[in-house]
Amino acid sequence: MQPDPRNTPLAYLKGVGPGRARLLESELGLKTFRDLLYFFPNRYIDKSRYYKIRELERSSAEVQLIGKIVHLKTVEQKRGKRLVATFRDDTGEMELVWFRSQKWFRERLKLGEPYVIFGRVNWYNGAFSMPHPDLELLSAHQQQKRIRMQPVYPSTEKLTRQGISNRLLTQWVAAVLAQVREVLPETLPDRILEALQLLPKPRSLVQIHFPDSNALLARAQARLKFEELFYIQLALLSKKHERKKRIRGYLFEQVGERFTAFYKDHLPFDLTGAQKRVIREIRADLGSNAQMNRLLQGDVGSGKTIVAVLTILLALDNGYQACLVAPTEILAQQHFNAVSELLEPLGLPVGLLTGSVKEKDRKPLLAGLSDGSLPILIGTHAVLEPRVKFNNLGLAIIDEQHRFGVAQRAKLWKKNKRPPHILVMTATPIPRTLAMSLYGDLDISLIDELPPGRKPVRTVLRGDRDRLRVFGFLKDEIRKGRQAYIVYPLIQESEAMDYKDLMDGFESISREFPQPDFQVSIVHGQMKPEAKEYEMQRFAEGKTQIMVATTVIEVGVNVPNASVMVIESAERFGLSQLHQLRGRVGRGADQSYCILMCGEKLSEEARTRLQTMARTNDGFEIAETDLKLRGPGNLLGTQQSGVLSLRIADLVRDRELLQSAREFARQLLLADPGLEQAENRVVRTRLQQMEVFQNRWDYIS
């Protein structure tokens, strides 16, 4: 068999050699012919058309125009001289500007002769200009053979310095294409190519490097993006199928006594439609033979706790233990309180295990877990320690997963012979597009409905000069019996300064809201857990009216009587954080408010963030904006995932392609789960080459 020419090291490409091959590898990670094939241009110089001055846009695109220089002058300014030409076509005028080699140009430019100019336009003082254009006389230009669209490849300073220009890279790509074009295999099944009218693979690879037209470039890109997304979805989905087939879960066959009793007699409120639907989804999982791996998404306050409790009861009714793990001590404590209260009428013992549980209290707890007499455990990471042994753990619920490392999740699996059912709850709304690619192998349940009677939180932006008015408003609310949070940013690098801001703020607020009329609490990350807990408790019980805090309170705190959230230096917070913070209010029946205090000078991005907050309460809309502003790599919890290092597709811009890729992948697996049909052989081969995702799967399988 012939060796695949695509595996040839780049050193063997004519004009490259070992030295440059080393550079290409160290600078751009390119090793073989194949790497160069998939090294896509990041833009194209479009010399396929001529623009008119009137058509120019304030974008960074490089454009080509035909016109005449009608005037030439040297302009002197403090910062130096420049040569300015007035360039005219039949639609208008613009300036061409030279800062260097002025004498050379001044002597050679011909007035009144038609030129073709090419370059990037600037918009300055109400007019377009082009600094240092490429230019040639139209007569000379017409004699040349034209390349239509030229690829521009990503590069580095070092490569440029070493003489590896874009022109060289272009030549090398062309040479590789010429050598391997004949052997490039098709990597998508015919049926999909036909259904979507996709370009064949070899043609796509040629067109993405050397497009014959904009339209063909677009088709080549669409084809390659689709392929990329399709195989990711296929990998995730087939993994899920496999998991369902292979890993048998504990069978929770019966809806037993406790679930029924609780559901009939002790629910503190009617469940929302969304809550009921989610519980049905969970029950279907638990009653099947497979192990549940479900992500429960629901905005803050949407009522995930009750879903957790009902799921716990299902486990207990089938003779298993359940645990609920939270990312912080405060949150674990709150869950413990909420769950104990809800289960009180059933007389079920609930244990709490956190880092601050004393050794002497820990012993009976651990004993109860291992002999099975303690059916429910709530806690922090402490639950994951090896010495915590369950008798028969059937269900693990993880709250606020983005605080949870992959490795920690893996530890839960080791607690049993068989993996327990897993329910991950998150209030971080993950946009659908992202959820599909990140968690395509998990099942997703969504609580997309808030309990009835909630009034949307009113959000306003305020500046320093509004401070007195804001304080006045707080006093009014407190006199009405409400409570308020005032939150300060705490960003790690500037921690000392931030603590100073926090303490200064606390002092001035204590002055503004004096005792005995007002009580002010403070909570921050440097306090001892007991002290924190004590202050949170006082606030929760209504003994203090103002809680000054850092983002410690971000996650999960539930004080329905609190109706005002003031966020200081709001421009320093990310969107999802702002949304989480705002979720602390609006939990009771009263109108609630979120006041975003911000500086005068805001970056464009900060302004968009704050305005988004003022415009909407919808967590998913906010998450979508966040995704657009920051890109998926920065969203919480997605950093470790290799899935996002996409070569060409973009999860935000290409969401429609993603949806269609997922649908095609789903149908293909449905029709041919083992990928055994002849027409799907290409798919199987290609799928087997995908190892990239192994890391991310480790914790799930």
Interface residues with Mg ion (CB under 5 A)? 556
Q: Which of residues 502-561 bind ligand ADP (CB under 6 A)?
A: 558, 560
Cβ proximity to ligand ADP: between 41 and 303 the closer is: 303
272 binds, among ligand ADP, Mg ion, none (CB under 5 to 8 A by kind): ligand ADP
306 binds ligand ADP, rule: CB under 6 A: yes
451 binds, among ligand ADP, Mg ion, none (CB under 5 to 8 A by kind): ligand ADP
Do β-strands 134-137 and 114-120 pair in parallel, antiparallel, or remain unpaired?
A: antiparallel
Cβ proximity to ligand ADP: between 335 and 532 the closer is: 335
Give 585-648 as a 3 state SS string: CCCCCCCCEEEEECCCCCCHHHHHHHHHHHHCCCHHHHHHHHHHHHCHHHCCCCCCCHHHCCCC
Cβ proximity to Mg ion: between 305 and 617 the closer is: 305
372 binds, among ligand ADP, Mg ion, none (CB under 5 to 8 A by kind): none
Q: Which run of H or of E encompasses 514?
A: none
Cβ proximity to ligand ADP: between 277 and 389 the closer is: 277
| Nearest in space to 584 (alpha carbons), one of 566, 562, 604, 599 | 562
Cβ proximity to ligand ADP: between 47 and 579 the closer is: 579
CB 587 within 8 A of CB 301: yes
Cβ proximity to ligand ADP: between 274 and 649 the closer is: 274
Q: How near is the Cβ of 270 to ligand ADP at its closest, in Å?
A: 6
Phi, psi for residue 146 in degrees, rounded to 5: -95, 135
Q: Which of residues 552-571 bind ligand ADP (CB under 6 A)?
A: 558, 560
In the set 119, 151, 301, 489, which binds ligand ADP (CB under 6 A)? 301
First vs last Cα of the chain: how many Å apart? Answer: 37
Q: How near is the Cβ of 578 to ligand ADP at its closest, in Å?
A: 16
**Could you say which DSSP state residue 156 is in?**
-
| Nearest in space to 584 (alpha carbons), one of 291, 334, 295, 214 | 334
What is the C-alpha separation between 415 and 355, in angstroms, rounded?
19
* Candidate ranges 43-51, 206-214, 293-301, 349-357; the one touching ligand ADP (CB under 6 A): 293-301
What is the C-alpha separation between 516 and 514, in angstroms, rounded?
6
427 binds ligand ADP, rule: CB under 6 A: yes
291 binds, among Mg ion, ligand ADP, none (CB under 5 to 8 A by kind): none
In the set 189, 298, 327, 394, which binds ligand ADP (CB under 6 A)? 298
CB 584 within 8 A of CB 557: yes
Cβ proximity to Mg ion: between 440 and 556 the closer is: 556
What is the C-alpha separation between 186 and 192, in angstroms, rounded?
12
300 binds ligand ADP, rule: CB under 6 A: yes
- b/e burial code for range 55-65 (CB count within 10 A of at least 16 → b): ebeeeeebbbb
Q: Which run of H or of E encompasses 349?
A: none
Q: Environment class of residue 68 by beta-carbon count within 10 Å: exposed (0-12), middle (13-18) or buried (19+)?
A: middle
Cβ proximity to ligand ADP: between 542 and 560 the closer is: 560
Q: How near is the Cβ of 420 to ligand ADP at its closest, in Å?
A: 21
Q: Which of residues 254-273 bind ligand ADP (CB under 6 A)?
A: 269-272
Q: Environment class of residue 601 by beta-carbon count within 10 Å: exposed (0-12), middle (13-18) or buried (19+)?
A: exposed
Cβ proximity to ligand ADP: between 301 and 489 the closer is: 301
Q: Which of residues 443-462 bind ligand ADP (CB under 6 A)?
A: 451
| Phi and psi based region of residue 589 (left: phi greater than 0; alpha: psi -120 to 50; beta: remaining) | alpha
* Candidate ranges 126-134, 180-188, 298-306, 353-361; the one touching ligand ADP (CB under 6 A): 298-306
Q: Environment class of residue 75 by beta-carbon count within 10 Å: exposed (0-12), middle (13-18) or buried (19+)?
A: exposed
CB 148 within 8 A of CB 48: yes
253 binds, among Mg ion, ligand ADP, none (CB under 5 to 8 A by kind): none
What is the C-alpha separation between 9 and 293, in angstroms, rounded?
43
Q: What is the dihedral of CA 69, 73, 77, 79, to 10 degrees?
A: 60
Q: How near is the Cβ of 456 to ligand ADP at its closest, in Å?
A: 15
Amino acid occupying residue 493: E
116 Cβ contact list (under 8 Å, min separation 6): 50, 64, 65, 66, 135, 136, 137, 138, 141
In the set 221, 297, 302, 680, which binds ligand ADP (CB under 6 A)? 302
580 binds, among ligand ADP, Mg ion, none (CB under 5 to 8 A by kind): none
Cβ proximity to ligand ADP: between 271 and 460 the closer is: 271
Phi, psi for residue 423 in degrees, rounded to 5: -125, 120
* Candidate ranges 299-307, 430-438, 521-529, 685-693; the one touching ligand ADP (CB under 6 A): 299-307
Cβ-closest position to ligand ADP: 303
* Candidate ranges 302-310, 467-475, 477-485, 680-688; the one touching ligand ADP (CB under 6 A): 302-310
Cβ proximity to Mg ion: between 557 and 649 the closer is: 557
Cβ proximity to ligand ADP: between 67 and 303 the closer is: 303
CB 163 within 8 A of CB 157: no
Q: How near is the Cβ of 449 to ligand ADP at its closest, in Å?
A: 9
298 binds, among Mg ion, ligand ADP, none (CB under 5 to 8 A by kind): ligand ADP
Q: How near is the Cβ of 670 to ligand ADP at its closest, in Å?
A: 33
* Candidate ranges 147-155, 295-303, 370-378, 540-548; the one touching ligand ADP (CB under 6 A): 295-303
Q: How near is the Cβ of 306 to ligand ADP at its closest, in Å?
A: 5
What are the C-alpha distances in Å from 49 to residues 44, 119, 208, 220, 257? 13, 13, 19, 20, 76
What is the C-alpha separation between 82 and 74, in angstroms, rounded?
6
Q: How near is the Cβ of 304 to Mg ion at its closest, in Å?
A: 5
Number of residues that bind ligand ADP (CB under 6 A): 18
Cβ proximity to Mg ion: between 154 and 637 the closer is: 637
Contacts with ligand ADP, residue ranges (CB under 6 A): 269-272, 275, 298, 300-306, 427, 451, 558, 560, 587
